[in-house]
Structures are given as C-alpha cells and as structure tokens.
Chain A
C-alpha cells in the first residue's frame, strides 16, 4: 500500500534531486574536507557551496551558518551559548507552546537555578505582546520563541519580538524548524541573533541541522572538538548530508511559491471539506497567520489514536495531539496552552502537507475520513446518534 503521507511536520521524504546530489559523497568523493590533499579539498568546495545555498534561503551570509546534527542540537547550542556568554544574566523568556527541544531544555535549566518565563498563549495560539515586553528584564540572557508552531502551524510575529529584544540588548533566538522553506525569511533585515533549522523537515535527510549565528554575536560552542565550523562546532563534517541540505534549500527557495499557492490550496480544500461534512469539528489556532501546509482539526467526542489507526488501515499518515499518542497521559501541551476543551483536544488530528501531495490524495482522505469519525462516534458514550449528549 502506497502511503498517503500528510505528516510532513514530523519528517519529509528526501527529494530525489537531494539524494542524487548526495550519493557520490558516500563512496566516490568520500575525502575529509579538512585534509591537505586535493581529494579531500574538492569536497570542501562543495561544503562551501552548500553553506552559500543555505545562507541564500535565509538572507544570511555563509560565515553565519554552522552545521549541526539536528534542530535539537541547534536549539541547545543557541541557548547554552547565550547563558555561557552572559554568565551574570540568569533569565530566559520563552513560550508555553515551544517544541520539546526548547521546553525540556528550559525546564532542565530551571532546575539548575535559571529563571524561566513561559509566555502563555490565547485560544488562537498567540502570546500577548505587552506581556512579552514586561517579561524582558535586565537579567534576561536570551529570548527563544518558535517561528511557526509544529502542531498548529501558527506563525508568531517574530520580526517584532526580535526587534523588542534588540532594543533592550537581549539576545533573540528562534526555532524556525517548521518555518524555513515554507515562508519567506530574510535575516539581513531582521534583529534575530540565532536561528535553528533542521534538514529533514525540508526534504533533506535526518541527522543534519543548522544554527545561524549573526555576525558579531558572542558564541560559545556546545560541542567542543576540532577546528571545524571555524571552531564553533567540533566534529568531522557530515559531507553528504551537508551537500544534500544545500540542494534542498535551493529547491525549497524555488518551490516557495508552490508551497503558498498549490500546497495551501490542497490544505484549504481538505480543511474546508472536512469542516463542512463532519459536524462538531473545529480548526485549532489562527487560520490566517499560519503555515500554508498545516491543518490541526479537532473531532469532538472521539480520541485521536483511534482515528490515526483507522486511517492507517488506508495508508493515510497524519498525527494527533491526543493523550494516547503524546507518550504522556495528557493531550498536547500546545492545545492545552491554547485552552482547547478536553472534548476537542483528545480528538485532534494534524495534517501537514508537502509539495509532493496530490489532488487525488486529498480526495481519498475526504472520502475515507468522515465514515471513520462516524464509526468511532458510534462507539463513544458521549455521542448519541447524530449529536453530542
């Protein structure tokens, strides 16, 4: 069964062009870019090119790009660098809806004596600017706010938030893992000091990430070792993955328009049709300021895991914010922070599309999903024929 894959915020397929570009660097051009011989040196040239390609999609310069192993490493490196660079400052500002890479790290740092302010969000998934302004103090070492939310796709007003931090000489980091490649980013015009991205969310392989560090920003390395990445991240370069990420970034820049027209169109058709054909449903989060590929829909009175497993029978891949799938016993922290009622939170499904999705796939889901919800509702003690009880 061919998967109908709408879980691209979890991970994406490696683009064929990316894979093709990577292959020679495993077995033919396997030299170490740091070597003195030209066999290794030629690989260095390709790594340099990849750095330029990634800088281009971010509106950054190549020397501001540090290759890491993943988004989580980039997040850790950014926050820990800020704290190491400003040891007198003991306060971190973040939000309640961050990815675990930031949330769990901040919780850990709180246990080490740092003060952490987690900004609450409203039912649309947005934090309050005034509350944010008040949270910024002379003791604040760093602000870390995600650009776009992985569960709802809601886009934070990062440009403005970064500017407010800059005015107070506070470092600003953003986890842009979901945003890069889907919405235009130009760091040259912004006050962002550090930015994390992850390869496998934009059709590059897993195991490669980037931390952007603005020129002039104090930096203290997280992984200490060799001179690679100009002493800012030790470890031999993952050359095939770096080269793959470069190609993926270039492809993403080319397809940004498709993402915001074609993909957005598929997403909207899926969402609108489901809302129309299935009663007691809602979309979670701000529908305007949102990634073009993401839709988070709640089906009242049913549980998300059941929906996922029944869709799985048809090869449809999505994810859920329900307790049963979150690995804990409570529904997603993002939906809880937004105050989504329990009757809705347990039955939330996230569809996240990519440029590889087709109209036929959307038709298929529109056909298969409503009967699944009917079946599960018919089993639910909170649902009496055709309506909630």
Chain B
C-alpha cells in the first residue's frame, strides 16, 4: 500500500475542481490512457488577468487525481505569469509530499499547466523536433533533462519515478544514464542559481528544519531553542532549557544550528541569539 499523506487522501476522496470549463482561456491534455494516466486541464481568467476558475479531469491513480486537484487549487487567483512558475515540487509539497514512485503524477500536473498556459498565450510549447527517448511512455529528451535539472535526479530509477521514462521495457536505460551524465556535467560547470525563496517559504523551511532536525537533538541534551524572528537572512532565536544557562550555547548555535540551517535551507543564513 502506498504511504499517502492525509492531504493526498483528502484531495483524492474529496477532489476540488473536477470538470471542464466551457469556452476556457487555457486548455491542455497530457498523458494517455495507454500510459496509465491522463489529465485534461481548463482555466478561465477574470478581467484582471487572474485565474478565476480552473478545472481538471484525470484518468489515473489516487495521487494523479490529488495532484491535478491540488494544482487547480494552487493556481486560482494567480496571474498566468505566477502560475507558470509552479514546479512539480511545489505541487508535491502542497500535498505534504508524494511517494518517490509517484512523483511523475506531480510532473504530469506541471506539464498540463505549462501547456494550458502556452495555449492561452498562443505560443507553441516546444520546437517541432522532439527526440523520444522512452518509446513505451513517449517521453522526450527535453522532458527527462528538465526533470533531472529541476529535481536534481541522479539515477535511472529516479528518472523513472519522476517521468515514467524507462518504466516499460527498459531498453532506454543506457540512454537515460547518458542524459543524467550530460546534465550533471553541465550542472557542475555552471553552478545553478538556487531558486529564490519567498520570505514565507523561507520562514516555513526554517521552522520545519528547527522542528525536525534541530530541536529534537537539543532536547536530547536538556536544551531547546525558539524561533523569534527572521530578518532578511538573519535567523533570530532564543535559547531555552539547559541551553539558556550553558556556556557553550553560542558554539552550538554556530556549529550546529547554523550549519544545519545553511545546509537545509539557504547557505546565506546566520543565526543570532536574542533574549526573548
């Protein structure tokens, strides 16, 4: 049984925005019944150019239905430009995460969104010539490259989980490996720009990292910290418990808390202690 989050289950059992909008501004159909999942997305804009309504129809498993429904919820109220920035990771995060093997459901959602937007703009999405790598599921080189870049994929298995490429006969595994090697050699030449974090997202990630990675370890030694504020890249915390009276707490903040936050959230972060 898949380990779905409660939110995935909720969006599957009580899907929001099922259906088709008549006379839509944006429309796209991706996937196919042979491949096991397909998604039709329609949206309509209001007079201010914001997405007023978005609807979906999905043939596919629970996570495909949940991903499509989540995506329609996310884009409502956005401008087309804002919606275009949504990544498959954003869709997965909205649902509290997806099992690795189901990440392709979030990619399907992002693809539909992208195509519906290009339909609206009247621009063809890609050049005519697309090289199909996986014949079983009709996955192109560009799709695979993009998934590798955006999700930092390193193995053929991961590529299969995210794009379905290589999940059929397996003949394309050597080709996928070549693409992985090629993309990574380019990535290492020019270090990619980190996606800019919005303030809200940054604070959320800091909070999550504190909860998950840092506070349990401190509590183990009888200490604790509390997030007071985030100002730019300055993380202001107050020490609690054993940490509050500990001579070495400043070392802990710099060598453990700051190191963790830089590793997991943003390399530019600094941690400062304030009295609460």
Contact = CB atoms under 8 A, between A and B. Distances in A.
B33 A343 contact: yes
Specify the main secondary structure of chain A where it touches its partner.
loop
A127 interface: no
Contacts of A381: 29, 38-40, 57-59
Contacts, number: 73
Contact of A330 (B12, B63, B168): B168
Contacts of B38: 381-382
Contacts of B15: 379
B210 interface: no
A236 B225 CA distance: 55
B259 to A, nearest CB: 38
A382 B61 contact: no
Contacts of B57: 379-381
Contacts of A380: 57-59
A322 B59 contact: no
A329 B59 contact: no
Nearest to A320: B61
Contact of B62 (A309, A323, A331): A309
Contact of B13 (A310, A343, A378): A310
Specify the main secondary structure of chain B where it touches its partner.
mixed
A: contact size bracket:
20 to 34
Contacts of A324: 36, 60-64
B9 to A, nearest CB: 8
Given A329-B36, A381-B38, A303 B160 contact: no
Given A306-B12, A346-B33, A382-B38, A329 B62 contact: no
Nearest to A325: B61
Contacts of B2: 305
A303 B12 contact: no
Given A310-B13, A329-B160, A379 B65 contact: yes
A107 to B, nearest CB: 11
A379 B58 contact: yes
Contacts of B64: 303, 324
B172 interface: no
Contacts of B110: none
Interface in B16-31: 18, 29
B102 to A, nearest CB: 8
B164 A306 contact: no
B200 interface: no
A378 B12 CA distance: 13
Contact of B61 (A305, A330, A342): A305
A310 B64 CA distance: 15
Contact of A306 (B18, B29, B61, B160): B61
B34 interface: yes
B40 A306 contact: no
A343 B34 CA distance: 7
B43 interface: no
A329 B33 contact: no
A303 B60 contact: yes
A301 to B, nearest CB: 7
A302 interface: yes
B31 to A, nearest CB: 9
Interface of A: 301-303, 305-306, 309-310, 313, 322-325, 328-331, 342-343, 346, 378-382
Interface of B: 2, 9, 12-13, 15, 18, 29, 33-34, 36-40, 57-65, 136-137, 160, 164, 167-168
